[in-house]
Amino acid sequence: MNQNKFFIGYRKHSITCVTFQGPIPLMSIMKPNNIHDVNIMLPLIGEIRKISELHTQYLVADLGYLDAKDQKKSFHDHDMAVVTGFKSNTVLTEPCDTSGRPECEQGHRLVWDGFDRDTATSWFRGDESYCQGCPLQGTCNK
């Protein structure tokens, strides 16, 4: 943080949509620099929900917006799942690579297969290019 007493800082928080032509900003809000990212996520999602034409189900955010309580509130109150990366001290229960991506027993990265809204669970499946020649193919539930 700048220690100059005349420094005035603001931060712009934006939600963009990924397209083939590049990202398109859907909405931005400006807040003072001393407002933490976590405190911005729910107001942004509330604003998105005011636009009836947007049927957004997922929001990908950086770790600055990671807060389990707010992520649950976003899902249950606004019907939007917020996906972030993992903190460095996160303990992963399933076999994963060093980046936190799930792997099968043979060490092949799994492919995201969707999100079950009833159980708030992401599903992953085996990558067919690896599964065809896998020695565990007969016993794997993929």
Q: What is the pLDDT of residues 100-142, one digit of tens each?
A: 778 887 888 888 888 777 777 778 888 878 777 777 777 776 5
Confidence check: pLDDT of 1 > 60: no
Lookup result for tokens 């949509």: 17
Give the mean pLDDT of 37-51: 85
Confidence check: pLDDT of 4 > 80: no
pLDDT in the model for residue 5:
65
Give the mean pLDDT of 45-61: 83
Q: How far apart are CA 103 and CA 126, in angstroms?
A: 8
List, in sequence order, every beta strand (DSSP E) within 9-142: 10-17, 24-32, 58-60, 81-83, 111-116, 121-125
Confidence of residue 93 (pLDDT cuts 50, 70, 90): low
Beta bridge partners of 79: none
Three-state DSSP at 49 gives helix
Give the mean pLDDT of 12-17: 84
Q: Do 3 and 36 form a contact (C-beta atoms < 8 A)?
A: no
Confidence check: pLDDT of 13 > 60: yes
Question: Going by C-beta distance under 8 Å and a sequence separation of 6 or more, which residues neighbour residue 63?
Answer: 84, 85, 87
Confidence check: pLDDT of 49 > 80: yes
The 10s digit of each residue's pLDDT in 67-80 is 778 888 888 888 88
Q: Are strands 121-125 and 111-116 parallel, antiparallel or unpaired?
A: antiparallel
pLDDT in the model for residue 61:
82
Residue type, 39: N
Beta bridge partners of 124: 112
Residue type, 79: D
What value does the mean pLDDT of the chain take?
79
